Amino acid sequence: MGLTMEEKQALAREISKRYQRSGKKDKSKILDEFVQNTGYNRKYALHLLANWGRTELVKLAGRVVKLKADAFKKRKAGGGRKPVYQAATIKALKLIWEFFDYMCGKRLSPFLREQMPFLNPCKEFGITKEVKAQLLAISPATIDRKLKPERKKLELKGRSATRPGGLLKHQIPIRVFYTWDERKPGFFELDTVVHDGGNASGEFCCTLNATDLEDV
């Protein structure tokens, strides 16, 4: 397993001191050793060892700046692009989307612009001046992206309450006084279907399906 970036930087920090104090012959040996341990390109390794820790004054935009060749510093967490749409906007978008039967982004985007005069007075949606401006500007693609986690929650997990498995006839032979003959009508497999819409709470119907094995 190769060295990590931190280990390579620590190695460069130590070897560069010895490299910069050594003569030409020893420098070549040190460079060979460093390239073998780090896997760096030879020219890059040479530049790294020769300049590590050195400072140079340069003039940038009329100011003198001191540059030092050293390890890269990790970027602080929390950087990057700030979110464009505030949390209140996404909350209002979700409420409107749910209230108007879960429209897709291509339908919801023009709907927001056309119906905003009627949506704005409804306190339940929490549409402030800033939220209104963002809802009027949001694109269909952004709507779908922001609502994707909510759509995922609404996906049906499957309407069958029956576990998959082998044919039950091999486990529960109903008629045991003669063998099964699937070529003749009258040999059935039965299964219940739960009509609960993916939610088994409350009242719902169950139906029984019967399949004649001759037709399978």
The per-residue pLDDT for 90 is: 94
pLDDT, tens digit only, all 216 positions of the chain: 567 888 888 888 888 888 888 888 888 898 898 888 888 898 888 888 888 877 766 677 777 766 666 655 555 655 566 778 899 999 999 999 999 989 999 999 999 999 999 999 999 999 999 999 999 999 999 999 999 999 888 876 555 555 555 555 556 555 544 555 666 777 777 788 888 777 777 788 889 888 887 765
Q: Is 104 left (phi over 0), alpha (psi -120 to 50) or beta?
A: beta
For 210, how many CA atoms within 13 A lie in the half-sphere containing its CB?
Answer: 5
In the numeric block, the tokens 């510093």 are attached to 73
Q: Per the confidence metrics, is the pTM higher than 0.85?
A: no
pLDDT of residue 79: 57
State the Cα angle at 42 between 38 and 48, rounded to 5°.
Answer: 75
| pLDDT of 74 | 57
- Which residues does 170 contact at the CB level (< 8 Å), separation at least 6? none
pLDDT for res 75:
58
